Amino acid sequence: MKTKLIEYKLSDLYEMSSGISTKPEQAGHGYPFFSFSTIFNNAVLPEEITDFMDTSDKERETYSVRKGDILITRTSETIDELAMSSVALKDYPNATFSGFAKRLRPIKNNITYPKFMAYFMRSEYFRKIINCKATMTLRASFNEEIFSYIKIMIPDYNDQVKIGDLFYTIEKKIRNNNKIYTELESFTKTLYDYWFLQFEFPNDNDKPYKSLGGRMVWNEELKREIPEGWTESTLSEISNMYQPNTFDAKLLEDDGKYRVYGAGGYMGQYHDFNHKESEIFISCRGSCGNIYRSMPFSLITGNAMIVHPNNIYLFEYLYLTLQRIGVKNCITGSVQPQITRTSLNDWKLVVPSEKVVRHFKSIVEPIFKKQETIIEENSKLNSLRDFLLPMLMNGQISFNK
């Protein structure tokens, strides 16, 4: 049976108000605060708030955040990124929200279900409405006039509950995956620091090397001590570096098989494939020095350098070295910051013994593969959610009675 959709003016369902105007000295302490970034990057407001703002009692009352509220970005560089929403699924005592956002507060009960609205407001359907209604001068803007024009078609409340609860289950799985990913990332960085910065890798007796008397020798090239049996090298000596052909972003497709990375990170998906496994990507134009590693079904644009280790056992070590130590000092250019192969060629680094990097790889490689699995699973869950919403709303699929 086709889901019945009901038309409402958004302004009949919600009242809109502006966020708080703050000064830099208020930031970083005080009471919970929802920033533009938090709103932009989360369909549902996070359980825990990491930003703070020094606010008064009156401000916390005026700019409060309650269950059912929708925080929506009011300005952006482009219309495509305007009016990105984040929904409160609980009250947030003493919290306020950014002046670069608007708050939509429900004025009627049992018309909109917060969990449903969280995903509806991020849907392709709602994005099309925004693209048609929003104004663009120097920046895209979402204002009272646009708000008053918007009409939406949504299911009745009971159907919203079913759809919203399903999507929130998917959301929780994605968030849990992200938490696991972050914990794995923290572990690998800690292990790297312990082994290769503090030199406490396992010795022949499986005990910490340096603290239990492991021999350290002076390296004249690096101007510091390193473990006996280790050496120094340059990035060009231990890897092959190259820059791929410039990639036309117009070729990206939502349903492509291969994930595309550029200077700013993940860009989208494409159907062709042109990179090898065990490669490291360094963003080399604009946002320089960001480090990414190749994953199954991924490729890279011409805005990044590819580093392919000559010894496969060096991949995990080299990736984390580039990430932990960084290549910011290799950036050149004034008008347009960039990293070139020439500037990377002579980048000096410590090369551990093969025994140590093999051991390190045996620990870290399965962790990287687990992270790759998480990324692919989250991608599929996001695609499933985006696929299901219009299907559920137009009645092509329905819930069992």
* Residue 172: exposure state from Cβ atoms within 10 A (0-12, 13-18, ≥19): exposed
The answer to whether domain 5-155 has CATH 3.90.220.20 is yes
- Can you give the pLDDT at residue 147? 87
- Can you give the pLDDT at residue 2? 60
Q: For the chain, what percent of residues have pLDDT higher than 70?
A: 85
Question: 15-19, 65-69, 148-152, 355-359 — which is least confidently predicted?
Answer: 148-152
pLDDT at 174 over 90: yes
Q: What is the pLDDT of residues 331-363, one digit of tens each?
A: 776 667 788 888 888 889 999 999 999 999 999
Residues 353-379 have a mean pLDDT of 95
Q: Which residues of 250-259 are buried (b: 16+ CB within 10 A; e: fewer)?
A: eeeeeebebb
Instruction: Tell me how far apart the alpha carbons of residues 142 and 121 are, in angstroms, rounded to a whole number.
Output: 14
- Can you give the pLDDT at residue 316? 95
Superfamily for 231-351? Answer: DNA methylase specificity domains (3.90.220.20)
- Can you give the pLDDT at residue 401? 54
Q: Rounded mean pLDDT of the chain? A: 85
Question: 98-112, 269-283, 367-381 — which is least confidently predicted?
Answer: 269-283
- Can you give the pLDDT at residue 263? 47
pLDDT at 293 over 90: no
Provide the residue ranges of all domains of the chain, joining segments of one domain with +.
Answer: 5-155, 231-351
pLDDT at 191 over 50: yes
Residues 142-162 have a mean pLDDT of 89
pLDDT at 328 over 90: no
Indicate the SS3 state at residue 316.
helix
The first and second tokens of residue 3, run together, are 């889901």
- Of 186, 191, 231, 188, which is closest to residue 208 (Cα–Cα)? 191
pLDDT at 246 over 70: no
* pTM for the full predicted model: 0.79
- Can you give the pLDDT at residue 100? 93
- Can you give the pLDDT at residue 297? 45
pLDDT band at 274 (very low <50, low <70, confident <90, very high): very low
Residues 356-375 have a mean pLDDT of 95
Instruction: Tell me how far apart the alpha carbons of residues 89 and 64 are, in angstroms, rounded to a whole number.
Output: 14
pLDDT band at 55 (very low <50, low <70, confident <90, very high): very high
Same fold, 5-155 and 231-351: yes
- Can you give the pLDDT at residue 80? 72
pLDDT at 45 over 60: yes
- Can you give the pLDDT at residue 275? 47
pLDDT at 164 over 60: yes
- Can you give the pLDDT at residue 76? 78
- Of 390, 43, 3, which is closest to residue 159 (Cα–Cα)? 3
